[in-house]
Every structure is written in structure tokens, then in C-alpha cells.
Structure 1
Amino acid sequence: MFLSIIADYDLTTSICELVDNAIDHWTSNSRRDGTQIDIFMNADRQTISVVDNAGGVSADQIRLLISPGASRLFTSDELIGSFGVGGKRAGIALGERVEIISRHDETPATRLVIDNEWLSNDNWEIEVKRVAEGEVGKTTVRISELRQGFDYAAIEALKTHLAAVYYSFIKLGCKIKVNGTEVGAINFDVWAFPPDYPPRSSQFKISPDGSGDISVDLAGGLIRDRDPEAENYGVYVYCNDRLIVSHVKNHEVGFVKGEAGVPHPDASLCRVILRLNGPPSLMPWASNKNALNYSHPTFLELREKIIYLTKYYSTLSRRLKNDRDEGVYRYQSGKVVDIDLSQPGTQKQVVLPPVPRGRSKPYPDRLMDENAGVFEKAPWTRGLVEAMGIVDVVARRNIDTKGRVALILLDSNLEIGLKEYIVHQTDKFPPQKFTDAKISELFKARHLVINAVKPIQGISETDWGKVSHFYNMRNKLIHERASIQVTDRDIEDYRKLVSRILSILFGLNFEV
């Protein structure tokens, strides 16, 4: 039975379960000062230890460490463990040998071992020994003979994960350390406060089962910490102060056509944060606390309210996409505005300020209108501008390979632009010197082209270095065996660079 319920546990999920157990013990002991959870991960020896001083497990509660389904009786507490299997299956999911030592008071510590020998035995009895080691109030879980290995990169990733998941507990004074290094606290309430479009929140209670109450804090707004590579927008859910899911962008929370729209970088300023506090049995989490149960009555009662906010702020994000620096990011402080979403259907009655109207023409058309005067004097620039419009269209499409398509378009367009400049700037590149054969020879190597046009004022050495960087990315994509990953951030950076160079060369304007 134990082995059959560990399939959905990976390294991070398993360690978090052990941390959850320590935090619940801390909460049950009134969250006393000085509580610390130490995680030791030896990548060379492939061992893991989790040590906490949250109070220890008393002798009469030692069965909680091993009995499936057994958990604390504090059902009214806002705990983060309720299924009675998390820590047990997490330990077994990590390794074939799990040793637990806990000391609650001045009496000797208790020790038990879960290993393959016990798991394969039909006898459910397990030997619990009294041992001299262990400080009062401490519990140590040692895991060896790991089922899944880890490296140093995994340790660093775990630190970041812990900093986000346990933000609230860290701020309340529970220290978490990994190999002696204290984990910081990562918060996601990084709101922007545009004067007409501040973040909004609503606090109320619900009773999904008709008996217990859940306190709800639902907030939405535009963000200042947008990360195109991490795609850190969408819905974040905390249950009893623990982060359960982050940047969710599925149809269950409104990211579907007709509501907030399909996930797209244009909507990447939208964030909605849901905080639920109450009996753990009423929380809409999966048993591994790494996903939501979207059919849970608690979530179903809140779903329309969540979609209401994702739809509004996703639309607002799209409308302000061309004015992020001045219209959004610059407003770093302000007040979160209260709205009332407590009653069923209330969100339909709440009137939020209308989102700004979108531009009447798409970006490629605005580009052509803006540069019409340049086309009359230099018709060869029309294709350069049209290509930049096509890059914008590609970048907006929800296709897996848009990055590499956009990279090839941008790099080819820049190369054509440099060629057009050399051909038409006859005072700087006299035809008798830059013959067709000479130009053909130049464009066999990008560095020769760059050396020829380097004297142009306004293009820095840094810019030329970036050009070479993206040119090498294109070559890796086309000429090498393994394809590289091209991120949204790469395309955004290269598009700005190509636009800037073409503007200097031909007087074109791409800021429309």
C-alpha cells in the first residue's frame, strides 16, 4: 500500500511534506519562537536529513509517524496536513531506508526505521526503540538508499521553491535552512498601482459544507515583477498560509477564449492571489499539496469570483501592453482597493473602471503608417518594416516554435538591412570599392559585415556584441545537431536591438 501511493511524489514534493509536518507541529505548539527546520542534502553521498526543533513527538503519539491515515486530532487548527499519509509516503518515496528519531521531553528519544524489510513483511508491528541521542523537542528524519537522486542544481532549485511555498511561515519566525544557508522569503504581492487601475481585494467567509467556515482573501491586479521566461502571471493559491499552486493559467481559472483569453504574453501583467484559511479538511488541495482539486466544493464556490478578476486584469494587461514602463511599472506604491465579492453573483454587480480602449489598428499596420514618409524617399526600407511587423505577429501566436521562427526572421532582416545600407550609402561605401563581388564576399561572414559598418555613429560595441550573440544562436539552431531553446525574453531583447539599429540606419520609427 505504501509503495502504491508514492508515484506522484518527486524530490521537492517529498521534502515539502516533511517540512509541512514540522510546521504543523510548530503550529500545534503555539508557534513558539526559535523554531528552525534544517534540511541537509549530501549530493555526493546521496543522503537527506530533515531536523526540526518544533517540539518532538511524545511516546503516546509515536504511531502518527507510521500508521496510514493517522493524523493529529486538532482538526480546528489551520494546519497544512490532514490526510495522515503525507510524511510517511514522502519519506518512502525518497529512499528505501527512513530513520526517524524524536524526543519530546526529558525521557529518552524514540527511534523507528522504515525499510524494505519491514515493507515486505506481512506483520504490521514495527519496533520502536528508546535511544540516548536527540535533544529535547527535536525530530530527525534521515533518508538513505535514495529512490531518486539529486544534484547541486536540484538543491538550489529547492531553496527557491521553499522560499515561495513557506513565505508566510518564514515571516512569522520559522527559520528554514538548507545545508546551513537560511532560506529567504519570496512574496508575490508585487502589485503595480496605476491611478485608475489599482489592485483590488475582497475578504469574506464561506461555509462550503454548511458547518465549518473558511476565511477568504481574494486579490487581483497588475504586477511589477513580470518575467517573460518564467511566465509568472495567472492564479496563485495559498491554503492555510502555504503556497499550493502558482501561475495557474488553465480554463478552470478563466484562461480560455471568452473569459480571460488563452494564455499569452500580452496578458502577463495579470495576477490573482487566493488565500484560504480554515479547517484542513475544507481545503481544495490534492493530497500531495502540489495541485488543486478543481471539483472540490470550496473551489467551485469561488471559481466565478476568480474568473471575474482574471478576466478583468488580463484584458487590462492586453490594453496596456504598449505602455508598461510609463503606464504600469512606474507606479510602485499605493493602496489595494476593497471590493465586495462575498455574495453569490456579487461580482456581476461590482462596477470596475472600464479598461482603456485598445488601439484601432494592429501593430504591423501602425508601423506602415508611421514610416510611410520614409518609404517614399527610400522604398527599399518597406520590406524591413514589414518584416518587423511579421515578427510581432509570430510572437503573439500560441505556437511552440514561435521563438525560433522569430529569431530567424529578426536575424535575416538585420542582415538584409545592413546590406541595403551598404548598397545605398554610396558616399560611405563607394560602388567602385564595394562591388557586387565585394558585397558577396562580405556577407559570407557576419564579422566582416560588422567591421565594415562599425564606424556608424550611435551603435555601440555592446550592441554589436549582442548582434554576434544572437547570430551565434541562429547558427546553432540551423547548423548544429541539437536545437537550442529560444525564450520570449530572447526575442523581446533581439527585437528591440534590431529596431534600434534599423532606426539609426534609415530613420525608421518602431515605437508606435
Structure 2
Amino acid sequence: MKITDNTIDASPTKRIYWSIIADYSTNTAISELIDNALDIHTKVGGTQKVIINIDMDQEQQTITVTDNAGGVKRDDLSLLVSPGQSGNDSDEHTIGIFGVGTKRAVVALSMDIKIFSRYQNQSTYLIEIDDTWISDTSTWILQSYQVDAIPDSTTKIELNKLRFVITDESIDQLIYHLSCTYANFLAAKTIEINVNSIPIGPILYGNWAYPPEFGPREYKTLLQVDTGKTVELKITAGLVTSSNPTGEYGVYLYCNNRLIVKELKSFDVGYVAGLAGKPHPQISTARFMISITGEPKYMPWNSSKSDLNPKHRTFQAFQQWFTNIVTEFSSLSRRLSGDWDNNVFKYSSGTIKQVALQNTEVTSMRRSYLPPLPKQKKSYSDNIKQKNNAVINSKPWALGPCETSIAIEWVLKQKLDQKNRIAFILLDSTLEIAFKDYLVNDSGKQYSDTTIKTMFGNRTNVHNEVKTLVFQSNTILWQKVDYYYKLRCKLVHERVTAGISDTDISNFKAIVQLFLINLFGLDLTEN
């Protein structure tokens, strides 16, 4: 039973504008203005290149954004300022479904806003918005003005009293953001974006690697998202020719050619235990590009077009299959990580394999179309520990030299200017500790506390004592031990840093390993 009781006023209040301010960064707000220009260009059927000029005046702390996308008709001016209104048709492949692009962007950026627009060659109109109007809850009425003409098909937005400070850094960040976000448009030369009169170029992510049998795959299908409605889904997955553990790997989402989010490594896309695993340097060569084209309401972006909406039905339609793709290529990256240079990076050219899919394969199957993955090679650390497990169990003092040797190999693989210096000091320390542990625990001789204190107080005494027990007649070996000890002293105590060559490291490492196998039985060879 229903009985009419009362009416409720559901009209929005201007507080909606204040929530907008908190939700937007400078980069996402300016991107909204560019999105709006691209949508207008699509709506009016424009054929010329869209040119967008962004002038950021550090001295005056103002921003002016101008575009030639077509302009806004007089009767459509309300679309620029009224929350919830949109002029886009539902079947257009635009990027402004939410109908709040310009209005929320300008409010997020500025407290004093002037919007000029001229539709084709018609009259020019001006709308002004400031914080006084936003704070006035008694009215939603805004005055528009007919003003002096600006160029045909142009919209110009002047932003004064900014809510942030323009700096060199903020300009550089904006340029990088726009170069990534609109890379596909810039590369296709359908738009031109100038920041302070300087054209920006596209930043594309295409440095794929083509290791034999495991090159990148491009999966394509028409994905059904509603009754009689589909979107074009294209996913490119593979390894790349460089590893950047802190950044450029993971998932990249493009909707209607616009980058929404990059380097996404959340559990929603498979970065969780049991699938690809949590983000880790070993999987940092795996990259995944999702491209979806279709009606805006079927795009799985969030309201500010800055992240994936994992609850969106379009994403959920292919999520399970996609996380399997992420899992397999991440596993491939992990299994080849012992020698990326030879297994992955050197294969910098090839052809992306095309895989055409049926809708049912994406929504109900877990196939990746990769051949069986190569067996995972044990890391040097795990291999050395396993090979020497029995020795370490019987001689616990051998654990230190064993793990220090592992650390030395790790240091030598890093991109450090001083890695040879660090490795050399570790090698010398390993040898010194090994000699002392051998004399105390493994030599078969008994030393009084006084003898040990006196002997250990002078490194040469330690060398001489060990020499009476092992390699007594190998004069050349002990000459090399003394040479590298003196080089270590020079490295540590002299003001000028001694140079440590790769040859020094190779020779000294061989000497240390020779002693470790003879003193304790440790096998530190990689195979």
C-alpha cells in the first residue's frame, strides 16, 4: 500500500562545487578542459586539427586555455556551468559522459573565471563565475554577455585568482601528464597542444621485447556489455626492453584513445598473492595495455577519468580472463629475471602476435595463448645456499662468508658508480673473517686468549699464521693476498680513493673463493 504523504526537494545545492575542488588536481582539471574541446570537436563534426593553447603566467599567476574545436552555441552555454548537464549523445565515442567537464575543472582551478565562446562564425558570448556566486546559495542564475568577437569556432577560458601556485615544477609536471594522457591523439596529429607556446610531443609506451616464443600478444574482440551493445577491446601484453622496479610496468588503461591510468598494480588487475603476486622488481618487465573504444557510459573510468573503476560492468566482464594474462606474463618475467639482458632485453625488434578472440573466450575462459613457460631458474642466492647447506649445518661459522659472497654478487649486478669499491671492501672483509674463523674453529690448533688477541691485532700476523697451515708453498698466491690487502689499506686510509678495476674484482674474488673452498669446503660457483 502507498499513500501520498509529502514532496521532497532533491534540487542540488552549490556545495557540489566545493566537493569538486577537493577531488581535482591541476593536471586532471586542465585535462578536463582538453577533453571538453575534443568532445565539442566530435559533436560539431569538425575535420580540422584541434589546436589547444595553454598559457601559464608565473608572474601574474593566471592561466588561459584556448581551443579552436568549434565553440559552444548560445543555447548550449548552460552546459558549461550547470552540474549534471551534458550535450553529448550517448552513442558518440566521446570522453565527457559526466557532463561536468568544464564546470568542475574551472572551479577546481580558479576563484575568478571568464569563459568566452564563439560557435563557428556567430556572436561571441561571455560567462563569468567567481567564489561570490558559488557561495550565494539563493540563486543558480548566471548572466551571459555578448562581447567583442574572438576567432571563429573558438573557446577561451581565463583563470585568475588560482587555487594553486604556478611553478616551473608544476609546468613540467603538466607537460609530462598531457604528453602521456593524449599521446595517441598527438601521435596521430589530430590535436596539437602548446604549453606556453611550446608544442608538446607524445609519450608512448611501446618498447616491447620479442624473446623467442614469448613475444608480445595483442588480443582483440568485440565485448558485449549490454543488450545489443559492444565495445572494442584490445589488450597488448608482453615484456619490455628495460626494467624499472619503481615505475613503468603494470597495467595501462586507455578509453577512447585517452590514457586514464598508467602503472596500475592493484589487486583488481591481478597484483595479489595467488595470481601475479605483489609488485616486485622480478616482474618489472611485464606491461599490459588495455584499450577500450565505445560509448562513454561503457568506459570503466572513475568520475575524474584518472583511475580504473573496478566495479564497472565492462571491466568485470573481462577481469578474470585479464588477470590470468597478467599472471602468466608476470610469471614469465620472474622466470627470466636471472639474466634479462640475454633472455629479454637483447630482443628489441619483432612483430606483435595478433590473437582474435570471441566474446565468450574473454568472459568465460582463462586462456592466454602462451606456450608453456620456461622452467624458473634458481637465483644465485638460493642455488649457493642449497649447495652449501650441509657445510653450513656442520660448520655454522661458514654461514657468514657464504652470505657475504652472495651479497657481493648482488652488489656487482647493480647500476652503482662505486660498486667495485663496495665489492672490494666486502671481499677483503670476507677473507679476513674467514681466516680468523678458520684459525679458531677449523685449524686443529689451540690458541690461548692472549695469543689470539696479539695475532688478531695485526692482519699480517693472521696471514702468516694461516700460511703455515694452507698453501705453504704457493708464494704467488700469498703475494696476491698481500697485494690486495695493501690496496684495501690504500682504499680505506688514503685521502685519494684508489681505483678498483673489473680485473681487480675478478682476480680478488677468485682468490677469496679459493680460500673458502679450501678452508671450509664452500662451493660458490654459480653452476
TM above 0.5: yes
1:78-89 mapped onto 2 (5 Å cutoff): 78-89=93-104
**Alignment partner for residue 48 of structure 1, among 59, 63, 66?**
63
1:415 lines up with 2:449 in the alignment: no
- Per the alignment, residue 219 of structure 2 pairs with 202
Residues 100 and 321 of structure 1, relative CA distance in 2, 3 Å threshold: same
Residues 228 and 341 of structure 1, relative CA distance in 2, 3 Å threshold: farther
1:1-400 mapped onto 2 (5 Å cutoff): 1-121=16-136, 122-173=138-189, 174-229=191-246, 231-339=247-355, 340=357, 342-344=359-361, 347-349=365-367, 351-359=369-377, 361-367=378-384, 386-390=403-407
Q: 1:183 & 1:253 partners in 2: Cα distance?
A: 31
**Superposition deviation, residue 444 in structure 1:** 6.3
SS at match of 1:207: strand
Residues 279 and 416 of structure 1, relative CA distance in 2, 3 Å threshold: closer
Unpaired segments ≥5 residues, structure 2: 1-15, 390-396, 433-458, 464-476, 514-523
Residues 133 and 90 of structure 1, relative CA distance in 2, 3 Å threshold: same
Residues 415 and 95 of structure 1, relative CA distance in 2, 3 Å threshold: same
Q: 1:328 & 1:416 partners in 2: Cα distance?
A: 31
SS at match of 2:237: strand
Percentage of identical aligned residues: 32
Write the deviation string for residues 327-355 of structure 1: whole angstroms up to 9, x where unpaired: 21222222222333631555435542011
Q: 2:411 & 2:335 partners in 1: Cα distance?
A: 19
**Kept after mapping to 2: 8 A contact 1:384/1:413:** no
Q: 1:501 & 1:22 partners in 2: Cα distance?
A: 62
Q: 2:481 & 2:209 partners in 1: Cα distance?
A: 50
- Per the alignment, residue 8 of structure 2 pairs with none
Residues 351 and 278 of structure 1, relative CA distance in 2, 3 Å threshold: closer
The letter for the 1-side match of 2:219 is S
Residues 510 and 148 of structure 1, relative CA distance in 2, 3 Å threshold: farther
**Superposition deviation, residue 237 in structure 1:** 0.7
Q: 1:67 & 1:365 partners in 2: Cα distance?
A: 63
Q: 2:151 & 2:176 partners in 1: Cα distance?
A: 29
**Kept after mapping to 2: 8 A contact 1:224/1:332:** yes
**Superposition deviation, residue 209 in structure 1:** 2.7
**Superposition deviation, residue 228 in structure 1:** 3.2
Larger Rg belongs to: 2
**Superposition deviation, residue 297 in structure 1:** 0.6
**Kept after mapping to 2: 8 A contact 1:36/1:176:** yes
**Superposition deviation, residue 157 in structure 1:** 1.5
Write the deviation string for residues 404-441 of structure 1: whole angstroms up to 9, x where unpaired: xx99999866434356699678747969x96xxx988x
Q: 1:409 & 1:334 partners in 2: Cα distance?
A: 34
SS at match of 1:2: helix
Q: 1:426 & 1:225 partners in 2: Cα distance?
A: 43
1:503 lines up with 2:506 in the alignment: yes
Write the deviation string for residues 140-171 of structure 1: whole angstroms up to 9, x where unpaired: 11111111223101111211111111011112
SS at match of 2:225: coil
- Per the alignment, residue 437 of structure 2 pairs with none
**Kept after mapping to 2: 8 A contact 1:217/1:274:** yes
**Kept after mapping to 2: 8 A contact 1:388/1:410:** no
Write the deviation string for residues 180-211 of structure 1: whole angstroms up to 9, x where unpaired: 11111111232111121011122111232324
**Kept after mapping to 2: 8 A contact 1:391/1:410:** no
* Worse-matched range after superposition: 97-106 or 347-356: 347-356
**Superposition deviation, residue 388 in structure 1:** 4.9
**Superposition deviation, residue 106 in structure 1:** 2.8
TM-score (norm 2): 0.76
TM-score (norm 1): 0.78
